[in-house]
Structure 1
């Protein structure tokens, strides 16, 4: 974990030294039921983005925690950092780091670092689609045995955004991290509807899949969420 946090700090340090204008965002969703059963679920995300003439940066912290009848049923957090240098109007080169800790996954943690070459297949007002990919490294620890896996990684990422109306945005993102030990894939699809200049309501469905898991462990986890999203009003 310490190595991964160091990687995130190294990626962040050049960005923090620039005069870029940072755009924060935060979202939160809470579900609480009482009666015959008591269930509490909280998921949240905090992000920071910035874009300059040559560089763009995207950092985030996401967390999920759920309890049912005083028993913990989900506990996960993720740190991510990504920085890209523009090569042309439609292409870029950069690096991405991700650290995930999940108490209910087949892995105690998964940490990845990859180089990226990417570009926009579609980039116009209110409509964009970009893909990126590149080699990297992965380090993970199996929850059942404590065995640590380290190996080469091939990372792929796709991001589709469509501003359907002035107040409604559709999105779909896909992340794939493939190694000889395991392939992790995550897809997020949903819609965000603006309430006012700073608040939006977001409904999303997330599917996460690991190809190599111990016997008795599900390969796929899903999360359906409805969150309130805050972003500061543009100046």
Structure 2
């Protein structure tokens, strides 16, 4: 575990380590259910003596068949792109750090054209051993979003408070459990994300991951669901 949003990598090593992990999943269904789903994600991180860097990218695409004017056609029913980056500066006690975090999300059919946030503050690792680790971060930030409602663009921006927590535990040499929770809030909205994953190593650099993700956003447009959930089984490849 290297930093917030880190991929499920079940070993802990010394500083100055570079890591890149990618995952991919695809589902194609035909017959009573006609849909195609693509999910891809990557995590790149490097931990140095004084700094720790991490970049995460996540994309999701779903195409389903629907009836238009009596004809069955394929159309996009879900599409998401999420990118985040974080840099931690280690203090005299390397478990205590100052972080800078930025994210950008573009998600169709959510009521938003895009959402973005920038935050900085305090990050701390409460403990870390060969079996488990717990860390958190909290600090002020700034968020902005563009909403499209009734073909009219609306832009929202303002100060937020961002908090995040990550717990990770190794059950065996090849199995790792991870729970991540983050929230961004201002007086008008709250955006919360939860990731629960169980990853296993299959052979060499290849693994498999079961994940359950919940996104709750109280600022969505009227008529949109505030809670989105996603359950997936994906292949994971550790490049280095």
What TM-score, normalized by structure 1, do the two folds share?
0.88
Query: Following superposition of structure 1 onto structure 2, how do residues 27-42 of structure 1 map, counting pairs within 5 Å?
Result: 27-42=23-38
2:44 aligned with 1:48? yes
Which of 60, 65, 71 is the equivalent residue of 1:64? Answer: 60
CA distance in 2, matches of 1:108, 1:95: 24
8 Å Cα contact 1:114/1:134 also seen in 2: yes
Whether 2:79 is the aligned partner of 1:75: answer yes
Residue correspondence of structure 1 range 92-171 to structure 2 within 5 A: 92-144=97-149, 145-171=152-178
Q: Is the 8 A contact 1:105 1:143 kept in 2?
A: no
Whether contact under 8 Å (2:110, 2:221) holds in the other structure is no
**SS of match in other structure, 2:203:** coil
- Which residue is equivalent to 1:7? none
Shift of 1:112: 0.2
8 Å contact kept, 1:135–1:152: yes
Aligned partner of 2:220 in structure 1 is: 213
Counterpart CA distance in 1 for 2:232 and 2:18 is: 26
Q: Distance in 2 between matches of 1:66 and 1:112?
A: 26
The aligned residue for residue 191 of structure 2 is 184
Query: Aligned residues, how many?
Result: 215
Gaps of 5+ in 2: 1-15, 66-73
Could you tell me how far 1:212 is from its partner in structure 2? Answer: 2.4
1:197 to 187, 196, 204: 204
Shift of 1:35: 1.5
Larger displacement relative to structure 2 (140-149 or 151-160): 140-149
2:22 aligned residue (18, 26, 37):
26
Q: Is the 8 A contact 1:205 1:223 kept in 2?
A: yes
CA distance, structure 1, for counterparts of residue 222 and residue 116 of structure 2: 23
Counterpart CA distance in 2 for 1:71 and 1:181 is 33
Distance 1:173 1:24 in 2: 19
TM-score of the aligned structures, taking structure 2 as reference length: 0.86
- Relative to total residues, which structure has the larger strand share, 1 or 2? 2
Give the gaps of 5 or more residues in structure 1.
1-19
Runs of 4+ residues deviating >4 angstroms: none
Within 1, Cα distance between the matches of 2:154 and 2:90? 39
Rounded to whole Å, the distance in 2 between the matches of 1:181 and 1:142 is 14
